[in-house]
Amino acid sequence: MKELAKEGKDLFLAFPIKFTGSVVFLSLGQHALLFLSFTALVAMDVFSRWLAISAGLLRKEGQKEPTLLAMILAIPKAREKGLIQSSIMRERGLSKILMYTLCVLAAAFADWLLSAGGSPSGMAFLVVSYLTSTEALSVIENLSEAGLTSMVKLLENLRGVKK
């Protein structure tokens, strides 16, 4: 019974911190979701790059058309051979996320300035749309390079180029 009373007291004492954190999270929820979404896109880009690298390794070893599962399973081997280096991928991924965040913040600030002057611009929407499209295209390019035929065809359609 004493433990339950102590836990209740601890919960009550932490209430101001939890309440403040909840208010901050709710007010920044959309921005946090945007940041998490960019992070997920960058992670997908890194993973798809790993797949392309491991597919290249498998082709060098004689597999003409490696399967997606074979590519995934070959990632550790590509890391062992030094073809995939976590430090480089982490640095590129982190710098990409920071760059995206700065671009979106600059566009949001520009929107705020322009709307304060009576001229809304929609610049943040444009920047987010461009960055998202570019990152998604990068994932498709990596998967195409890995040899996934459906991605090759999708990339051709997106670029308007037929081979």
Q: Cα–Cα distance between 155 and 161 in angstroms, integer?
A: 8
74 to each of 52, 58, 68, 83, how far by Cα in Å?
11, 7, 10, 11
Residue 10: pLDDT above 70?
no
User: What pLDDT is attached to residue 65?
Assistant: 86
The 10s digit of each residue's pLDDT in 79-134 is: 899 888 877 777 787 888 888 888 888 888 888 888 888 887 888 889 988 998 88
Among 21-25, 46-50, 115-119, the range with the most confident prediction by mean pLDDT is 46-50
Report residue 83: phi and psi, to 5°: -75, -30
* Residue type present at position 158: L
pTM: 0.69
Residue 59: pLDDT above 90?
yes
Are 72 and 96 in contact by the 8 Å Cβ rule? The answer is no
- The 3-state DSSP class for residue 67 equals coil
